[in-house]
Structure 1
């Protein structure tokens, strides 16, 4: 039996990081249903403290998701969830982003958008650049 999955990234600011990754990957941020969020607060199932405003929209404060523009059939969803503790050690899992474009141009664009260069890697004829997103989560670009 095969299971579906999503990749979840712990972070301090899920909406900001979801925007960054959506731009980095050319993906789309999933919209959140403002009417449903308001209804949950009005009915007492949630509090105002669990909501926030992001880019002018009412959202759940604790999470934001992105998906491939061709849908979940093409690639798993990425969920960014708020956690109280900061990142303190190297990730044990990271994304390898295969650009299919000019890798150096993609790396330069991500650096301008707040990524940090960590190191360059090579194994035989394969090479990549390891970066960190604005909250320090590693990714490799090849």
Structure 2
């Protein structure tokens, strides 16, 4: 997947999510995505089915689902940091990783799905890609 592919996915997701009152968090790291979605159950399920059918994605699976009392990401847009592990600016890249890990530790997890999301994100960030 190229940077252009990722940026196209983000543009489509931002528009669709804002039109359908879907919030959440999408992390793309070492050519892998992990995402949590919040919103009307049917809207979220429809979106998940679209993602599963998208030919740009492989091995799409659901980690958890369930009702929530309040959203974990009520005001979040999509965040994208276009830097690869092999880029010359290693310090920025390492700071981005530390920020994600800190965010996982400091975020209030209001439900089981959010807890699983952040645990899986930490695993993704700290595990070499050939071991995931």
Q: One fold, TM greater than 0.5?
A: no
Structure with greater Cα Rg = 1
Could you say which structure has the higher strand fraction? Answer: 1
